[in-house]
Chain A
Amino acid sequence: MADAEEAQSGSTSLTPTDKDASKICILLNATGNVPIIKKRTWTVDPNKTVSWIQKFIHKYLKLDASEQIFLYVNQTFAPAPDQIIKNLYDCHGTNGKLVLYYCKNQAWG
């Protein structure tokens, strides 16, 4: 599985040993007219928030400050910005992954 040290933005450093065990695997899918991130699978710290992921995508795609990233879980609902990835994964993860969809406009209400 592809590793995502970039996703940490250097904010936390993890030792190679605990890295895989403690992190959560997320799958990022573009939807609508948003640029595609080629690398779809990332691993993130379970305590990172939805807004952290949104900022990460925003930065990665070099979007304008005026543009917004919306995130959806399994094409159904938009989690709150302060929700943590662990809670979403525990309730909505499938096959060891949390599937997230991102776009620049509201997609699924």
Chain B
Amino acid sequence: MAHDREVLRMIWEGQIAICFQADGDEIVGLKPEPFYLMVSRLSYLPLVTDKVRKYFSPYIPNEHQEGAVWFDFNGTPLRLHFPIGVLFDLLHPEGDTAPWCLTIHFSHFPEETLVKLNTKELLESHYMSCLKEADVLKHRGQVISSMQKKDHNQLWLGLINDKFDQFWAVNRRLMEPYSDQESFKNIPIRIYYDDDFTYTQKLISPLSESGQKKNLADLMAELSTPVRKAVGIRTHGIDLHEETQLQWMSEHMSYPDNFLHLSIEYKNV
């Protein structure tokens, strides 16, 4: 695990340029200039947009000042509890290098489509649940439950304050196979097909029935059906090589919630 630390660092440092615009219908007076920001792919919109909110709030009428803030891209409301990199990869056209233009809203929160995880406290609790679920899949939950509250805090603070060493000092323990094992029990994985944010989660073992380490070609075979063949896998904006081992992927390319978030490209047979 330790020798591929540079990969961890590169994944951690991945950023996205975002251009935030006001919602024309919410503004009083002149429409403000857009607000540009570089954000971490691994973070969540409510964690990185304090500045954006402050910038636009003087243009917002008083009755909406305390409203639950949300964002949309071309009319699609963005899940506040999905990592920003996952949202970007699902919605952003490949090869487009211009900043990602999002609209910020202070009112009319779309309760029907968006889960209202809009504060740091709610997101923290959601994030810890993801870690627990991932550890149930990897180690039957034994590693996370042996940790103390201060370790959990250290993970969260490392993530929200962008402190790589602080985060990995604890996350390392979650990313090691348990005791004498060579791999996890199952790989925490979420598989996205298209841009509607639905995903599939199922039990994916890192090992084949004969005990060999599975790679992405094996995963694609597992996800293919007689009519639909998986032909490519992407995460963090990167096309993945099909010889990459699943166990290695899980240890090095998971998001901070300890899940691999993979987009699968299919071809009809």
Binding site for B on A (CB under 8 A): 51, 73-74, 76-82, 84, 87-88, 90-92, 106, 109
| B92 located at the interface, meaning its Cβ lies under 8 Å from any Cβ of chain A in the complex | no
- Structural contact, B129 and A51, CB atoms closer than 8 A: no
Stretch at the interface among B29-37, B199-207, B218-226: B199-207
Cβ–Cβ contact B202 & A87, under 8 A: yes
Q: Which residue of B lies closest to A88 (CB)?
A: B201
State the B residues within 8 Å of A (CB): 79, 81, 115, 117, 125-126, 128-130, 132-133, 136-137, 141, 186, 198-203
Q: What are 8 A-B pairs at a CB distance below 8 A?
A: A76-B133, A78-B125, A79-B129, A80-B130, A81-B115, A82-B79, A90-B202, A91-B137
Q: Which of B126, B136, B198 contacts A80 (CB 8 A)?
A: B126
6 pairs of A and B residues whose beta carbons are closest in the complex? A77-B132, A87-B201, A90-B202, A77-B129, A77-B133, A78-B129
A80 touches B115 (CB 8 A): yes
A82-B136 contact given A90-B202, A91-B201, CB 8 Å threshold: no
B132: chain A residues at CB < 8 Å are: 76-77, 109
**Chain B residues within 8 Å of A84, by CB:** 198
Which listed residue, A76, A80, A90, A106, touches B141 by the CB 8 Å rule? A76
What residues on A are CB-neighbors of B130 within 8 Å?
A: 77, 80
Interface contacts (Cβ under 8 Å), in number, total: 46
Q: List, in ascending order, chain A residues with CB within 8 A of B198's CB.
A: 84
- A83–chain B nearest beta-carbon distance, Å: 8
B200 touches A92 (CB 8 A): no
A55 to B30, CA, bound (A): 42
A51-B115, A91-B137 are known contacts. Are A80 and B81 too (CB-CB below 8 A)?
Answer: yes
List the A side residues contacting B141 at CB < 8 Å: 76
User: Which chain B residues lie closer than 8 Å to A51 at the CB level?
Assistant: 115
In the bound complex, residues from chain A placing their C-beta under 8 Å from that of B186 are 91
Contact A76 B199 (CB under 8 A): no
Nearest A residue to B128 via CB reads A109
Q: Which residue of B lies closest to A82 (CB)?
A: B115
Which listed residue, A73, A74, A76, A91, touches B202 by the CB 8 Å rule? Answer: A91
Task: Name the B residues within 8 Å of A74 (CB-CB).
Answer: 136
Contacts of A82 in B (CB 8 A): 79, 115
| Bound CA–CA A90/B117 (angstroms) | 25
Q: How far is the CB of A97 from chain B (nearest CB, A)?
A: 16
What is the CA–CA distance of A84 and B137 in the complex, to the nearest angstrom?
Answer: 17
Give the shortest distance, in Å, between B78 (CB) and chain A (any CB): 13
Other A-B contacts than A90-B201, A90-B203, A91-B202, 4 sampled, CB-CB below 8 A, are A77-B132, A88-B201, A109-B128, A109-B132
* Chain B residues closer than 8 Å to A106, beta-carbon distance: 125
Q: Which B residues are CB-close (under 8 A) to A77?
A: 129-130, 132-133, 136
Chain A residue contacts of B125, Cβ below 8 A: 78, 106, 109
